Amino acid sequence: MLSVSNLNTYYGRAHILADLSLEVRRGEVVVLLGRNGAGKSTTMKSVIGLVPAQSGTITFDGTRIERLSPHRIAQLGLGYVPEERRIFTELTVMENLEVGRQKPRDGVPTWTPERLFRLFPNLGEMRERPGGRMSGGEQQMLTIARTLMGNPRLILLDEPSEGLAPVIVEQMARTILQLKAEGLTVLLSEQNLHFAQMVADRAYIIEKGRIRYQGTMAELAADPAVHEQYLSV
**Total structural domains in the chain?**
1
Q: Write the single-letter amino acid at 154.
A: L
Q: How far apart are CA 97 and CA 186, in angstroms?
A: 20
Identify whether the C-beta of residue 116 lies closer than 8 Å to the C-beta of residue 195.
no
Tell whether the model's pLDDT for residue 17 goes beyond 90: yes
pLDDT of residue 177: 95
Tell whether the model's pLDDT for residue 233 goes beyond 80: no
pLDDT of residue 137: 87
Domain that holds residue 10: 2-231
pLDDT of residue 207: 96
Q: 3-state class of 226 per DSSP? A: helix
pLDDT of residue 168: 85
Mean pLDDT of 14-28: 97
CATH number at residue 52: 3.40.50.300
Q: Please give the C-alpha separations between residue 36 and each of 48, 179, 185, 204, in angstroms, as whole numbers.
A: 20, 26, 24, 15
Entry pTM: 0.93
Tell whether the model's pLDDT for residue 199 goes beyond 80: yes
pLDDT bucket at 227, cuts 50 / 70 / 90: confident
